[in-house]
Homo-oligomer: A and B are copies of this chain.
Amino acid sequence: MERKTAVFRKEHFNAAHRLFVPEWTDAQNQAQFGKCSNPHFHGHNYELVVKVVGVPDPLTGYVINLSTLSSIIQHKVLSRFDHKNLNLDTEEFASLNPTAENIVYVIYQILRKELDMSLELSVRLYETERNFVEYPASGA
């Protein structure tokens, strides 16, 4: 049996965003997104937990060097989103509503390309301490 192990790296970034559906009226957006649709934006300290699953290398004992993983997250994710306005400063959310569900999916897609296909990946994103999301879901 393979010795499948999960390794996790936590990072964070700060960003502004606004939730709204452009096809909707202000009243509809307000009804669905409440104060999160404030036209002047609000913001969060996002905490990001990246989980990589694989078999540790028998010599080094590493699934993946977490310094390497941290560096990938820094260069591919944080450099795009940290201290940015997700709606105005990023291509990804120019026309995609920056809900936590959509942000975590975008981050997953970015990181998936950077990792060897032998490694499984999932990403958890904390928008606040009380609201967070994970993709792909590990099953309820």
Where the two chains meet, the residues of A that have a C-beta atom closer than 8 Å to any C-beta of B are 3-12, 14-17, 19, 21, 23, 32, 34-36, 38, 40-45, 51-53, 56, 59-63, 65-67, 82-85, 88-89, 96-102, 104-105, 120-122, 128-140
A10-B129, A14-B128 known; A137-B4 Cβ under 8 A: yes
A43-B42, A60-B21 known; A105-B5 Cβ under 8 A: yes
A51-B140, A61-B96, A101-B61 known; A38-B6 Cβ under 8 A: no
A40-B89, A135-B5 known; A60-B84 Cβ under 8 A: no
The 15 listed contacts between A and B (C-beta, < 8 Å) are A7-B101, A7-B131, A7-B133, A9-B131, A14-B42, A16-B42, A16-B43, A21-B60, A35-B82, A38-B89, A40-B88, A42-B83, A53-B140, A121-B140, A139-B139
Residue of B nearest to A51 (CB): B140
Cα A39 to Cα B122 with chains together (Å): 33
Residue of B nearest to A29 (CB): B60
A101 pairs with B62, CB closer than 8 A: yes
